[in-house]
Amino acid sequence: MIDPLIAGKQPSLSFETIHQHKNGTRIPVEIFLQYINPPGESPRFVAIVRDVSERREATRRLNTTIDEMAHRTKEITLLSELADLLYSCHNVSEAYEVVTRFIPMLLPDLSGALYIIDDTGVNLQSVGSWGTQPPEETVFSPEDCVAVRRGLAYTSKADESALFCRHLPEGKPDISFCMPLAAQGETFGLLHLLAYSDTAATAGQQTDIDAKPRPDFSETIAKQVSMALASLRSREELQNRSIRDPLTNLFNRRYMEESFERELHRAARSEKPAVSFMMIDIDHFKKINDTYGHDAGDMVLRELGYILTRKSRKYDIACRFGGEEFVLCLPGACREIAEKRATDIRESVKRLSLHYEGRDMGVITISVGVSIYPDLGETPAELMKKADQALYQAKENGRDRVVVAEPNNGVSAASPIKLRR
């Protein structure tokens, strides 16, 4: 190393190395060498040795701080992106997917799950999970969670805590962190995070299990998720009120008319266009109301609404058109499928056994008229008129039947639509 100095190629040289102190400890030092060869004197080296332990420690702390700042910046960026995407979601289902994808990026060493109160209001149900060891329970009672009972975030540690959530597995995680999701004082969900030290060890990671799952940051995430989901739930509720019939929870007439037109435009662009439309009417509904009362009539309407919901695909459009009349739009369904579906619905209604105030209401029947796009028309008005005329034929022919409109079914397109009972 000192050859270049002796040869005069370099006036000086500095480097760092490890030096053993006289007390036996090893310390980092910086050595500065200067080769001098004054005239008339013997050439020699001048060496300066300096302990650089403090400088190295300061550099290490600076690098650690820089890394931490970069990590926090990344977290803030991801948290901001999470909030932006959540508020851009069209519905809560999209939001669940966003949460499930983003939390592993924000808290990569943790497993967890997002739970939402189900439609019955009785259970918390998992709508998304992540990590190497996600929670085992997918459905449990809110009473099983200490955090939900308290209305506050709750942390339990396997070797310290006296109280544990009953939804935890038998082999308890090192740390469990539960954060209720609430809006206007009402809990509607739970964010559950788990930390396992053996998972990190298996993966060859060095981790401080006591520092996880970073309650402050985790609660910040939970607040973002809670506010966004609450906003989406409120928006969906308002939207549902505007497009749903409150008695049957089916779509209302306005929504059906808008959707029907959209489905026809979509079918027109398809290689195999087919949209079926059926109009359904409860037979002798006025008699039901007169005999048993309007509450009994409402019960019949709800039961038919339930059957239509159960018999519909997720992209079908079931609607209470008005009074005792219902409609069902079936995108992509040809004549055979529509006729089979209509018959299935008619038979399901006929099998109902309804009682009101202890009185057997007898057999309930429906009549159905079906029209098919594009065979019987290209606009919603044309298809609805054809289905209505087919429905009138079903009524005229004795009720409790399905009639599929034909291009020449003997009913003039200009025939008046009579009032049905």
Residues annotated as catalytic (active site), given as ranges:
324
Q: What is the CA radius of gyration of the chain?
A: 37
Distance CA 326, CA 317 (A): 11
Q: What type of residue sits at position 146?
A: V
Distance CA 409, CA 392 (A): 12
Backbone phi, psi, residue 16, to 5°? -110, 145
233: tokens are 């739930």
Q: Which of 171, 50, 194 is nearest to 112 (CA)?
A: 194
Distance CA 392, CA 283 (A): 11
281: tokens are 């009417």
Distance CA 159, CA 172 (A): 9
Q: Which of 291, 289, 265 is nearest to 378 (CA)?
A: 265
Q: Where are the beta strands (DSSP E) in 43-143?
A: 44-51, 111-117, 124-130, 139-140
Q: Could you write out the DSSP letters of every residue in 247-282? A: TT-SB-HHHHHHHHHHHHHHHHTSSS--EEEEEEEE
CA atoms within 13 A on the CB side of 113: 20
Distance CA 150, CA 156 (A): 14
Q: Specify whether the backbone of 40 is left (phi greater than 0), alpha (psi in -120 to 50) or beta.
A: left
Other beta carbons within 10 angstroms of residue 128's beta carbon come to 19
Q: Which of 394, 242, 249 is nearest to 319 (CA)?
A: 249
Q: Specify whether the backbone of 217 is left (phi greater than 0), alpha (psi in -120 to 50) or beta.
A: alpha
Q: How many helices (H) and strands (E) does the chain have?
A: 11, 16
